[in-house]
A and B are shown apart, each in its own frame.
Chain A
Amino acid sequence: MAFAAFATTEAQPQAPKRKSRIALFLLLPGILYMVLFFLTPLISLILTSLQAPNEFGDIGVYDYAFNWQNYVTVVQEYWPHILRSFGYALVATVLALAFSYPLAYFIGVKARRWPLLQSVMLVLVIAPFFISFLLRTLAWKQLLSDESFIITSLKALSLMAPDAHFTGTPAAVIFGLTYNFIPFMTLPLYTTLERLDLRYLEAGSDLYANPFTVFRKVTIPLSMPGIVAGTLLTFIPAAGDYVNASRDFLGGPDTQMMGNVIEANFLVLLNYPAAAALSIILMAAILVLVGIYVRRSGTEDLL
């Protein structure tokens, strides 16, 4: 009766087709967006990096060309900045890891008995996210300026030479990078350590390993996914950062990184091909480094 009536209302054979139409409907807008505003910009960045100056010599006007010498020029001109970018980022990443690991270990492992304390500490770790990172960096600039309490005390204790500065030095830039990316390091470390099954550690000490060996042979390997994720989350933005190294923040004339010269070439000098070439170099170098790193640490499935 009625049942038979609606049995015919919906034709079945089109089901797979309809399914793929739904998938297409769900994917198309977003994917189109990403192609339009991520993929094509990358392509136009490559095209821009090969542009040649306008034949009439107008400033900021370039013609499409295959001017690969742009790359040679920027490497020759900016190789100290390139080295600085990766050097600073590397040191900052190592420092952030050294700072974050014990912190994440305490929150994720030692504090398991007190869930409330654990969540309070987690909120404190991400609290810096709630306040503009520019203001945080400026706060450090004031706190570490030559007239500040910290620096004058250090000088009084003869831990610093009387005429030395902290802001404007490479150390200050690395300090700023480390500070700003600590939460990005701590959170993934916390996630893996929080899931660490302590019975493995007990098994390790049961099998005659001393605490240090247990840490080296059991804890560290088991927290590898967090270490890899944290170092990537720190290294990539640190290498491209230009706020910390900027002269108005923690940097000085001799601390400029790739980000600074990309910004200067793009927004001030209007030398778009140079900025684009530097960007491509930065991205390619990061992709290669990340690829090698991920492969070596054996955590490819993480991506």
Chain B
Amino acid sequence: MSVSVREFAERGADLELVGIQKRFPGFTAIEELDLTIPAGSFFALLGPSGCGKTTTLRLVAGLEEPTRGRILIGGTDVTETKAHQRPVNTVFQSYALFPHMSIIENVAFGLRRRRIGDADARAHEALRLVELDHLAQRRPAQLSGGQQQRVALARAIVNRPALLLLDEPLGALDLKLRRQMQLELKTIQEEVGLTFLHVTHDQEEAMTMADTVAVMNKGSIEQMGAPEQLYELPRTVFVANFLGQSNLFTGRVAGTTDTAIAVDVQGTRLVVPTTRAARHQGEVTIGVRPEKVALHRDAPAVSPSRNVLGPGHVIDVSFSGVSTQYIVSITGVGTVTVFAQNIGIGPIASEGDEVWVSWDVEHGFGLDDDPADAGKFAADDDTHAIAVQRREALVAELEES
């Protein structure tokens, strides 16, 4: 299927990036990128700032030209075409509403350029979809941030593009409005059935909205899949830490059965199912999510279905209402983070207490990274970026409460 800018897309189109490289004077934004987004999907590119996700989006929009590689929309090679010749529309991060035009003129802009009849009627229809038709005669400056965002969305979808690009459009909104808009976007996507490509650094946004998430780092895709899959079975240290938190352990594979591998972590054997481990021999990194880990005041009974670490000491307890986060220091292994649902009343352990931690073998995962690389990675700038981002998220949460 190919789409002309002179007509509406019947449905979303596939997007295919083949061997894309983008160099700017002085740095390489994208090293080598291959990506296929099936028609009608809501696809999120997730990554820290500077990972190349926005550049990818701009390449697809035609606002940048790739140094190498090809871009196909609906099977048609559009690499050589300009932004205004592509059946693609963007919701810009800053919305980029034309300040000198009314809302309705903004929304009808694309239709008029393509000389599509009934531009006004269609623009009003699009505004009704985002529930802003009553503000059609206003200027952008007279609208609130959330309203501007919805106008930007209407201005893009009114063109029925084969592909809709969203460049962190929710970044400027406060948390409550963001939730509301996320829901709205998702509803609209289901209603109009376009292909959405959403670029964001907000993991929660990516996971709640997209059916496929690609985690990008340093100009290439680390891992791609459904949100649950990415979360439950991260393949790299970066994904394990960028998408939620993880307890990671490094050790040598000490034994293998038909269904599981056993890893020796400073004298303790930790078992991971073979199907959930990417590497089955040599030095490996394995991990478990903090909410899957249980905290024990007494040494738990040894069971082949549970991994146990301990004894250790609680070095930090932070109570956050719904759950409590414990940080447990275990000699030789390092620290383990535990999220415990606040089922009883108050924390079950306090600082200095001797505790054990355990988790279901089935909940562990083994990473694909070479632990040697992972060690190097830990010292990289990008981890700092992640830390900053985490702190911002924390601050946002604090402000909300």
A contacts B directly (C-beta below 8 A): yes
CB distance from A8 to the nearest CB of B (A): 8
Q: Let me know if A7 and B4 touch, CB within 8 A.
A: no
Q: Are A3 and B87 in contact (CB under 8 A)?
A: yes
* Any A CB within 8 A of the CB of B6: yes
In chain A, positions 43-73 with a C-beta closer than 8 Å to chain B are none
A1-30 vs B, Cβ < 8 Å mask (1 yes, 0 no)? 111111110101001000000000000000
Contact B78 A7 (CB under 8 A): yes
Answer whether residue B77 sits at the interface, using C-beta atoms and an 8 A cutoff: yes
Contact between chains at A1 and B85 (CB < 8 Å): no
Q: Total A-B pairs in contact (CB under 8 Å)?
A: 35
| Complex Cα spacing A5 to B4, Å | 9
- B63 → chain A closest CB, angstroms: 13
Most A-side CB within 10 Å, residue of B65, B74, B85: B85
Whether A2 and B4, one on each chain, are in contact in the complex, defined by CB atoms closer than 8 angstroms, is: yes
Contact, CB under 8 Å: B76 / A7: yes
B-side contacts of A4, CB under 8 Å:
2, 76
Interface bracket on B: 10 to 19
Of all chain A residues, the one with the shortest Cβ separation from B162 is A3
B3 interface hit (Cβ, 8 Å)? yes
One digit per residue, 1 when the CB lies within 8 angstroms of any chain A CB and 0 when it does not, for chain B 1-17 equals 01111110000000000
Tell me the bound Cα distance from A2 to B78 in angstroms: 12
| In the assembled complex, B186 has its CB within 8 A of some CB on chain A | no
Contact B6 A7 (CB under 8 A): no
Nearest chain B CB to A5 CB, angstrom units: 8
CA–CA, A178 and B325, complex, Å: 71
User: Does A7 lie within 8 Å of B3, measured CB to CB?
Assistant: no
Assess whether A7 is in contact with B80, with CB atoms less than 8 Å apart: yes
- Size category, A interface: 10 to 19
Q: How far is the CA of A5 from the CA of B6 in the complex (A)?
A: 12
Partner pick for B6 among A2, A12, A15, CB 8 A cutoff: A2
A264-B177 Cα distance, complex, nearest whole Å: 73
B6:A10 contact, CB within 8 angstroms: no
* B247 vs chain A, min Cβ distance (A): 44
Contacts of B76 in A (CB 8 A): 3-4, 7
Q: Mark B290-324, 1 if CB is under 8 A from A, else 0.
A: 00000000000000000000000000000000000
Smallest Cβ-Cβ distance to A6: which chain B residue: B85
A1 to B4, CA, bound (A): 7
Q: Give the residue name and chain of the B residue nearest to A2 (CB).
A: B4
Is chain B's interface secondary structure helix, strand, loop, or mixed overall? loop
**Binary interface encoding of chain B residues 53-89 relative to chain A, with 1 for a CB under 8 A from any of its CBs, else 0:** 0000000000001000000001011101110010100
Residue among A3, A7, A15 with the highest chain B CB neighbour number at 10 A? A3
Give the Cβ gap from B183 to chain A, nearest Cβ, in Å. 33
Please tell me if the beta carbons of A3 and B4 are within 8 angstroms of each other in the complex.
yes
A7 in complex: contacting residue of B7, B65, B74, B77, CB < 8 Å: B77
Chain A interface helix/strand/loop/mixed: helix
Across the two chains, which residue of chain B brings its CB closest to A15? B65
Tell me whether B5 and A3 are in contact (CB under 8 A).
Answer: yes
A2 to B85, CA, bound (A): 11
CA distance A5 to B7 in the complex (A): 14
In the complex, A10 Cα to B82 Cα: how many Å?
9
A12–B62 Cα gap in the complex (Å)? Answer: 12
Does B81 lie within 8 Å of A6, measured CB to CB? yes
Are A2 and B80 within 8 A (Cβ)? no
Interface centre among A7, A12, A15 (most CB of B within 10 A): A7
| CB neighbours of B78 from chain A (8 A) | 3, 7
> Do B2 and A12 touch (CB < 8 A)?
no
> Distance in Å from the Cβ of A13 to the closest Cβ of chain B?
9
Partner of B80, one of A1, A5, A12: A12
In the complex, which residues of chain B have a beta carbon less than 8 angstroms from the beta carbon of A6?
4-5, 81, 85
- A193 shortest CB reach to chain B, Å: 28
Q: How far is the CB of B293 from chain A (nearest CB, A)?
A: 47
Q: What's the minimum C-beta distance from A85 to chain B, rounded to whole angstroms?
A: 48
Report the minimal beta-carbon distance from A172 to chain B, rounded to whole angstroms.
Answer: 51
CB distance from B68 to the nearest CB of A (A): 14
- Output the nearest chain B residue to A5 by Cβ-Cβ distance: B4
Closest Cβ of chain B to A119, distance in Å, is 20
Instruction: Give the residues in chain A near B4, CB-CB below 8 Å.
Output: 1-3, 5-6
- Determine the distance from Cα of A204 to Cα of B65 in the docked complex, in whole angstroms: 51
Output the nearest chain A residue to B6 by Cβ-Cβ distance. Answer: A2
Contacts of A1 in B (CB 8 A): 2, 4
Contacts of B85 in A (CB 8 A): 6-7, 10
Provide the residues of chain A in CB contact with B82, threshold 8 Å: 10
How many angstroms from the CA of A2 to the CA of B81 in the assembled complex?
Answer: 13
Q: Most chain-A CB neighbours within 10 Å: which of B2, B7, B65?
A: B2
Q: How many angstroms from the CA of A158 to the CA of B87 in the assembled complex?
A: 87
Q: How far is the CA of A7 from the CA of B85 in the complex (A)?
A: 8
CA distance A101 to B272 in the complex (A): 75
Measured between C-beta atoms, what is the minimum distance from B240 to chain A in Å? 41
From A13, which residue of chain B is reached at the shortest CB distance? B80
Q: Kindly provide the distance from the CB of A84 to the nearest chain B CB, expressed in whole angstroms.
A: 52
Q: Quick one: CB contact mask for B87-121 with A, threshold 8 Å, 1 for yes?
A: 10000000000000000000000000000000000
Docked-complex contact A2 and B7, CB < 8 angstroms: yes
A10 partner residues in chain B, CB cutoff 8 A: 80-82, 85
Decide if B80 touches A3 in the complex (CB within 8 Å). Answer: no
Q: Mark A76-113, 1 if CB is under 8 A from B, else 0.
A: 00000000000000000000000000000000000000
Which residues of A in the span 241-260 have a Cβ within 8 Å of any Cβ on B?
none
B4 to chain A: closest residue by CB: A2
Closest residue of chain A to B74 (Cβ to Cβ) is A3
State in angstroms the CA–CA spacing of A10 and B84 once bound together: 12
Q: How far is the CB of A1 from chain B (nearest CB, A)?
A: 5
In the assembly, what is the distance between CA of A10 and CA of B87, in Å? 16
A37→B199 CA distance, assembly (Å): 53
Complex CA–CA separation, A6 to B2 (angstroms): 12
Specify which chain B residues have a CB less than 8 angstroms from the CB of A8 in the assembled complex: 80
Bound Cα distance from A6 to B85, whole angstroms = 8
Q: Within the complex, what minimum Cβ distance (angstroms) separates A10 from chain B? A: 7
Whole-angstrom distance between the alpha carbons of A15 and B80 in the complex?
Answer: 11
Complex CA distance for A1 and B87, rounded to whole angstroms: 13
Task: Give 9 pairs: A residue, B residue, CB < 8 Å, sorted on A.
Answer: A1-B2, A2-B7, A3-B4, A3-B5, A3-B78, A7-B76, A10-B80, A10-B81, A10-B85
In addition to A6-B85, A7-B77, A12-B80, 4 A-B residue pairs with Cβ atoms within 8 Å of each other are A2-B2, A3-B74, A7-B76, A10-B85
Nearest first, the 6 closest Cβ-Cβ pairs linking A and B are A2-B4, A3-B2, A12-B80, A3-B4, A1-B2, A3-B76
